[in-house]
Structure 1
Amino acid sequence: MAGASSAVRATLTDAQLVTLTEAHGGRAEPGWWDRAKRHSLGWVSAHDGDTLVGFANVAWDGADHAFLLDPKVHGDWQHRGIGTELVRRARDAARDAGCEWLHVDFEPHLRPFYFDACGFASTDAGLIRFTAS
């Protein structure tokens, strides 16, 4: 991770996640991290000093299945290997916790990242969307 340090289960604030989400180009929802972290198997973060520049969350079913959620890298820090390293460390944490599977879903333009850079395989899956975008 060129220029950034990483941590597993670092103390992160909701405000840091809001700032990172907005810098990544996403829609931040204040209060999200305060609600989500208690359901998490773990998370991995990348930092430039005190600044959060990358994040990946791993939720789970309490047994065999883990779910990679919300991976993001600050726009100014992309294309430096940070996202790939965050996913690798999240994968390792899920495996080390005894999970058999790590699931991820993503937009089509991210296929090369998840399949080529991170080693995920294509699989059939189903999805029900409850809200319109």
Structure 2
Amino acid sequence: MTIEIRTDPFPPNDQLNALWAAAWGEHTPRDFSGILPRSLAHVGAYDDGHLIGFVNVAWDGGIHAFILDTCVHPAKRRMGIATRLVKAAETLARERGALWLHVDFEAHLAAFHRNCGFRKTEAGLMKLR
């Protein structure tokens, strides 16, 4: 198995929605055509041409970038794919001018993000819906 990491692949909605449904279970299909072009970067992982992992890098238009929606298909987890996606996103964010890379995550993912180089900070979150 050779996993290919692609920069800014712009996968079709059906591929992204299928990946998200597999990775997160409950998922309402979304239209990504208005999201991805505004991102600083996005990275896809492909196995034999099939999208098996993805991460989006949103940004504020300045020095702050944000890792969003890192996911890997459940059948392909624990192979280092998510780490490769985050590292590629880090490199792209740096190359494209960001000085800070932020990420929010659930507590069970703390060790993963720490191993990717993130440090713990205080942050706030407000649910809007």
One fold, TM greater than 0.5? yes
TM-score bracket for the superposition, by shorter chain length: over 0.9
Counterpart in 1 of 2:126? Answer: 128
SS across alignment from 1:129: coil
Structure 2 Cα separation of the partners of residues 84 and 110 of structure 1: 12
Q: Which of 108, 115, 118 does residue 116 from structure 2 map onto?
A: 118
**Equivalent residues in 2 for 1:13-24, closer than 5 Å:** 13-24=12-23
Structure 1 Cα separation of the partners of residues 28 and 13 of structure 2: 9
Counterpart in 1 of 2:42? Answer: 43
Q: What do residues 74-104 of structure 1 show as CA deviations (whole Å, max 9, x unaligned)?
A: 0000000000000000001000011110000
Structure 1 Cα separation of the partners of residues 99 and 45 of structure 2: 25
After superposition, the Cα gap between the structure-2 partners of 1:129 and 1:11, relative to the gap in structure 1 and judged at 3 Å, is closer
SS across alignment from 2:20: helix
Displacement of 1:3 after TM fit? 3.0
Structure 2 stretches lacking a partner, 5+ long? none
Structure 1 stretches lacking a partner, 5+ long? none
Q: Could you list the runs of 4 or more consecutive aligned residues of structure 1 that deviate by over 3 angstroms after TM superposition?
A: none
Q: What do residues 32-83 of structure 1 show as CA deviations (whole Å, max 9, x unaligned)?
A: 3123112211101000122100000000011100000010000000000000
Q: Percent identity?
A: 41
When normalised by structure 2's length, the TM-score is 0.94
CA RMSD of aligned residues (A): 1.3
When normalised by structure 1's length, the TM-score is 0.91
Displacement of 1:22 after TM fit? 1.0
Counterpart in 2 of 1:98? Answer: 97
Counting matched residue pairs gives 129
Structure 1 Cα separation of the partners of residues 48 and 78 of structure 2: 19
Structure 2 Cα separation of the partners of residues 68 and 7 of structure 1: 16
